[in-house]
């Protein structure tokens, strides 16, 4: 492992091309807003990739050199090829970190790693979201207080169709009366996965300082320490075995 963390921010980059409200908030695309905040950290080298590039911007050599992948998608989950989704899953299992944002809960990549529906309740309205920090000593919440607020966000509500997280990091309160496990981690193979709820395309969520800090913290936390290829070796005994019974 080198001392620089190689990050790839993947964005679907479709809303921005068709919805003026989204492009006014994210003129360079949501992925660029996320990436440019990360680029301020001197220990990160950040590239971006988007759906409509060849191989969705994730050819093997990019994935091989990526330490941590950040994923935002929404409209076009089904357009992500099964082959690329399988490669991302393989790399996570080998050790690559994965940060899944907001509507990425329904991405092929996240669903393959969780094995569950990843379904939830939702509402686009005028809810405020207050994210409670339930893991104040976790590296992902470093510098975040007891809670922080997003003045407007899409509501996501429980039940959330995920396996029990290894670590629960945030629980959200919404004005309209719902709650949500809005930050959670899972180890999958040798890779660390963090799901982080906020980030609806019609709100300036990725310009929020707390959100930016949490994504940065998560990238550092998810940095791989190993790369271990899958194998299923036939393994000779380490201790003497009894003789085979005569037939």
Question: Pick from 19, 36, 41, 142: which binds a copy of itself (CB under 8 A)?
Answer: 142
Residue 134 CB, nearest distance to a copy of itself (Å)?
Answer: 5
Would you tell me the crossing angle of helices 209-222 and 30-39 to the nearest 10 degrees?
A: 70
Q: Site for a copy of itself (CB under 8 A): which residue of 128, 202, 204, 220? A: 128
User: Within 10 A of 126 (CB to CB), how many other CB atoms are there?
Assistant: 11
Residues 196-235 within binding reach of a copy of itself (CB under 8 A): 224-226, 228, 230-235
Looking at beta carbons only, is 33 or 155 nearer to a copy of itself? 155
In angstroms, rounded to a whole number, what is the distance separating the alpha carbons of residues 228 and 219? 19
Check residue 186 for interaction with a copy of itself (CB under 8 A). Answer: yes
CB of 62 to a copy of itself, least distance (A): 22
Distances (CA, A) of 184 to 138, 140, 197: 11, 10, 9
Site for a copy of itself in 2-61 (CB under 8 A): none
The residues in 144-173 that bind a copy of itself, with binding defined as CB under 8 A, are 146, 152, 155, 157-161, 163-164, 166-168, 171-173
- Name which of 24 and 60 has its Cβ closer to a copy of itself: 24
List the one residue from 51, 96, 120, 219 that touches a copy of itself (CB under 8 A).
Answer: 120
Task: Give the residue among 32, 42, 41 at the shortest CA–CA distance from 9.
Answer: 32
Kindly report the number of other CB atoms within 10 A of residue 225's CB atom: 8
Q: How far apart are alpha carbons 80 and 56 in whole angstroms?
A: 7
């Amino acid at each position: 492992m080198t001392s620089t963390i190689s990050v790839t921010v993947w964005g679907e980059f479709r809303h921005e091309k068709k919805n003026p409200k989204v492009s006014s908030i994210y003129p360079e695309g949501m992925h660029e807003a996320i990436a440019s905040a990360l680029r301020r950290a001197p220990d990160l080298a950040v590239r971006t990739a988007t759906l409509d590039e060849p191989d969705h911007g994730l050819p093997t050599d990019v994935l091989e050199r990526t330490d941590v992948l950040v994923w935002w998608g929404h409209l076009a989950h089904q357009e992500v090829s099964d082959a690329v989704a399988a490669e991302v899953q393989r790399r996570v299992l080998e050790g690559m970190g994965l940060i899944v944002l907001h509507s990425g809960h329904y991405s092929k990549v996240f669903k393959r790693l969780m094995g569950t529906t990843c379904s939830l309740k939702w509402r686009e309205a005028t809810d405020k979201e207050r994210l409670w920090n339930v893991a104040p000593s976790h590296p992902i919440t470093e510098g975040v207080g007891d809670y922080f607020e997003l003045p407007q966000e899409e509501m996501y509500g429980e039940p959330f169709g995920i396996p029990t997280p290894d670590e629960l990091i945030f629980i959200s309160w919404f004005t309209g009366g719902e709650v949500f496990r809005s930050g959670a981690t899972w180890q999958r193979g040798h890779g660390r996965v963090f799901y982080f709820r906020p980030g609806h395309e019609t709100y300036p969520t990725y310009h929020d300082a707390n959100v930016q800090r949490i994504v940065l913290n998560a990238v550092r936390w998810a940095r791989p320490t190993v790369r271990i290829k899958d194998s299923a070796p036939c393994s000779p005994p380490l201790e003497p075995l009894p003789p085979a019974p005569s037939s």
